[in-house]
């Protein structure tokens, strides 16, 4: 069973035995058909593999050692970047350490400095590429060398860095550009008597490492925590989010939210920092809790969104749950307006993949017939903004197992309970959901650090294409005691104009590999803790739309304190034609055809009713809760009013989906079998 590590308020329960039968098909998915007799783990970690060049500790620049061929023509390949002292430079999903500037075709990647450079792991440095990622300057450039907040306050180390690029207006020469970074800082808290969070660093330098500026910020009454979502707006301003840990205040645990803006000061060659506080609604009996702050703007630089994940008094549905809490700006960040809360219950495609709660408290998932609702729970997310000013989220969606206000953090965890959904908010009131993929895995680990979905989001410079990435690996025994615990990097793309999706695509799966021979994914590039730039590369060397990605390879997966080597992945992207050959997205909208199912639940037979234009070709099929087809029920031409009988007497009890497709529209209705 997969244990999802959520916020500290949350507790967890195992999936119940009564739900096991409904998960049978999901478990079958993991039965391996790989028949080649070899040690998989030894193969994928071999330093002789061409797709992952071996990185060694260096203090000088590293030239690419992989052949410069397109992934479409050969194996996946990467460019080594160096290392950091340990994996805790990159284990936080909300940080954005990789950033691309289209104006100067440059990238920066920030991390705790290379091992074994003197000064310790808490000093932040950065790498830079000025040719779109083909080559990198990895000479250690320290931007927090002093580790002093002031003359009396030493900093014990900086963590979880974000990085961005400031390019002066009209500049086309990368040597004139600046790296800017931020993240949390540890110091000796005299009240706590030891290390504590409390400061936030802002550090910068020119690309060559000159003009270094190191500054620290805090407040007297609370601790600034872990910043995230660093983003460079079109006017050159740099934004990121944070939140405060307020102690000893009723109904305030982790809040309010902080929108932070950096503006370049040419007189000091540094960045002036300003903060806008976005308070939450504390009127609810549930303590307001937020995590994972992120921020992004659309291509016009005026419309932007600040998002956190959590719950507060505005969550006015009967059953509280962790949701995105959204603020919007239409004036470039001067003012922020809190948006209407998403209502999970109105998103049929999401609800169709949500397990009913344990309404009677017996430890087992109940059925819809018992009146038990389905309450989705967002455990991770990332976000971006398109050319039309719409907000796009990628979310890991679990299922709440309890509706008691004090226990809303209990969630079902296990095979088949984590779905990846693409959410689109129109900026006014409407949300829709597209199922992007699934994550039916066990968490892997590097020492004590969890290797989970690692959701990341990006967009094209013009905002016409949206990209999401995640990692995935079936964490199971294969043979001879070896485990398949190596994460691969997957991608999904959405075209705004065509309203179509491409993917999911495994960016490291070697060409010619048959998926039926590899129902696990160790045949592909291994990428731990990958990071995606908020802006992608348009018209790249190998793809029409290239995704800038950095990932790590820990030197010892049993010890999170050992160094981790980084690589820039050069085989991730999509072509424009991908959006023409992939079917349109399937938003689940039963009202398209007035799709109805009676009785529901059913034990012997269900009657499916729907309406069509006369003589419309349609197909009706039955899916399991994982979206896998169980049977084709009927393909025919329909009439104004249609009724189809479905025999369910031989089906295993549980939840199913009835999928009706006519022309280019799709509707899905839930069917409970008992």
Q: What is the pLDDT of residue 233?
A: 97
Integer Cα distance of 94 and 230 in angstroms: 9
**Residue 619: HSE in the Cβ half-sphere, 13 Å Cα cutoff:** 9
Q: How close are the terminal C-alpha atoms of the chain, in Å?
A: 25
* 661 pLDDT higher than 70: yes
The pLDDT of residue 192: 62
What's the rounded mean pLDDT across residues 152-160?
92
Q: Is the Cβ–Cβ distance between 216 and 149 less than 8 Å?
A: yes
Greater confidence, 225 or 293? Answer: 293
Q: Has residue 191 got a pLDDT over 70?
A: no
Buried b (16+ CB within 10 A) or exposed e, 471-491: bbbbbeebeeeebbbbbbbbb
Instruction: Give residue limits of the domains in the chain.
Output: 86-279, 590-673
Judged against a pLDDT cut of 60, whether residue 44 lies above it is answered with no
pLDDT value for 59: 23
- Average of per-residue pLDDT across 347-370: 80
**pLDDT value, residue 403:** 62
What would the pLDDT profile of 527-538 be if each residue is shown by its tens digit?
889 999 999 999
β-strand partners of 264: 271
pLDDT category, 142, cuts 50, 70, 90? very high
Q: What is the pLDDT of residue 154?
A: 92
Residues shown for the chain: 674
Mean predicted lDDT score pLDDT of the chain: 78
Q: Answer whether CATH 3.30.43.10 is correct for domain 590-673.
A: no
Among 7-11, 114-118, 343-347, 670-674, name the most confident range. 343-347
Residue 663's H or E segment, with its range, is none
In angstroms and rounded to an integer, the radius of gyration of the C-alpha atoms of the chain is: 25
Of the chain, the percentage scoring pLDDT greater than 70 comes to 75
Mean pLDDT for 491-511 is 83
pLDDT digits (tens, 9 = 90+) for 513-567: 544 444 444 445 678 899 999 999 998 888 889 999 999 988 888 899 999 999 9
Please name the residues in contact with 73: beta carbons below 8 A apart, sequence gap of 6 or more: 511
Per-residue model confidence as pLDDT tens digits over 410-449: 787 665 578 999 999 999 989 999 999 888 666 678 888 8
Distance, CA of 321 to CA of 467 (rounded, Å): 26
101 — pLDDT class (breaks 50, 70, 90): very high
pLDDT at position 477, please?
Answer: 47
């Amino acid at each position: 069973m997969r244990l999802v590590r959520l916020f500290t308020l949350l507790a967890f329960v195992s999936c119940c035995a009564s739900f096991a039968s409904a998960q049978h098909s999901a478990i079958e998915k993991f039965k391996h058909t790989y028949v080649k007799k070899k040690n998989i783990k030894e193969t994928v970690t071999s330093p002789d593999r061409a797709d992952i060049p071996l990185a060694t500790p260096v203090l000088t620049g590293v030239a690419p050692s992989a052949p410069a061929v397109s992934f479409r023509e050969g194996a996946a390949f990467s460019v080594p970047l160096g290392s950091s002292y340990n994996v805790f430079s990159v284990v936080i999903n909300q940080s954005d350490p990789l950033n691309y500037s289209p104006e100067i075709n440059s990238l920066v990647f920030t991390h705790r400095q290379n091992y074994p450079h003197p000064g310790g792991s808490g000093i932040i440095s950065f790498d830079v590429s000025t040719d779109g990622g083909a080559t990198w300057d990895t000479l250690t450039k320290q931007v927090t060398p002093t580790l002093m907040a002031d003359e009396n306050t030493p900093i014990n180390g900086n963590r979880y860095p974000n990085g961005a690029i400031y390019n002066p207006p009209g500049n086309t020469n990368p040597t004139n550009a600046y790296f800017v970074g931020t993240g949390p800082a540890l110091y000796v808290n005299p009240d706590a008597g030891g290390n504590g969070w409390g400061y936030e660093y802002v550090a910068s330098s020119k690309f060559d490492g000159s003009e270094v500026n190191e500054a620290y910020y805090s407040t007297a009454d609370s601790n600034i925590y872990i910043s995230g979502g660093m983003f460079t707006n079109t006017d050159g301003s740099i934004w990121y989010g944070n939140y405060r840990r307020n102690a000893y205040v009723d109904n305030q645990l982790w809040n309010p939210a902080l929108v932070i803006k950096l503006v370049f000061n040419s007189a000091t060659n540094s960045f002036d920092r300003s903060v806008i506080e976005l308070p939450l609604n504390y009127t609810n009996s549930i303590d307001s809790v937020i995590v994972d702050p992120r921020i992004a703007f659309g291509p016009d630089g005026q419309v932007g969104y600040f998002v956190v994940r959590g719950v507060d008094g505005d969550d006015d549905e009967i059953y509280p749950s962790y949701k995105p809490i959204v603020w919007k700006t239409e004036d470039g960040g001067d003012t922020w307006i809190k948006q209407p809360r998403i209502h999970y219950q109105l998103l049929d495609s999401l609800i169709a993949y949500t397990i009913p709660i344990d309404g009677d408290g017996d430890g087992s998932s109940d059925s819809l017939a018992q009146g038990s609702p389905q309450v989705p729970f967002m455990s991770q997310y990332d976000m971006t903004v398109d050319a039309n000013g719409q907000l796009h989220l990628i979310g890991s969606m679990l299922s709440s197992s309890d509706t008691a206000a004090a226990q809303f953090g209990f969630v079902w965890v296990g095979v088949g309970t984590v779905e990846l959904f693409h959410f689109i908010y129109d900026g006014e009131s409407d949300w829709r959901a597209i199922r992007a993929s699934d994550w039916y895995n066990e968490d892997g680990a590097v020492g004590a650090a969890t290797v989970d979905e690692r959701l990341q989001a990006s967009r094209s410079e013009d905002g016409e294409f949206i990209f999401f990435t995640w990692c995935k690996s079936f964490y199971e025994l294969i043979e001879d005691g070896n485990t398949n615990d190596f994460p691969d990097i997957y991608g999904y793309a959405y075209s705004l104009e065509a309203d179509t999706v491409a993917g999911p695509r495994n960016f490291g799966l070697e060409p010619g590999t048959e998926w039926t021979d590899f129902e696990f994914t160790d045949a592909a590039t291994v990428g731990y803790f990958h990071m995606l730039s908020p802006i992608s590369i348009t018209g790249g060397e190998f793809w029409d739309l290239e995704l800038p990605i950095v990932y790590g390879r820990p030197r010892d997966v049993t010890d999170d304190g050992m160094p981790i080597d980084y690589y820039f992945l050069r085989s991730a992207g999509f072509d424009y034609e991908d959006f023409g050959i992939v079917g349109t997205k399937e938003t689940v909208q039963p009202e398209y055809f007035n799709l109805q199912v009676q009785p529901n639940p059913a034990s012997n037979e269900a009657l499916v009713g729907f309406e069509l234009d006369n003589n419309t070709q349609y197909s009706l099929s039955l899916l399991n809760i994982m979206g896998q087809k169980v049977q084709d029920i009927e393909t025919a031409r329909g009439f104004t009013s249609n009724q189809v009988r479905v025999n369910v007497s031989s089906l295993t009890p549980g939840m199913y989906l009835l999928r009706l497709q006519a022309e280019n529209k799709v509707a899905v209705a839930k069917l409970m079998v008992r």
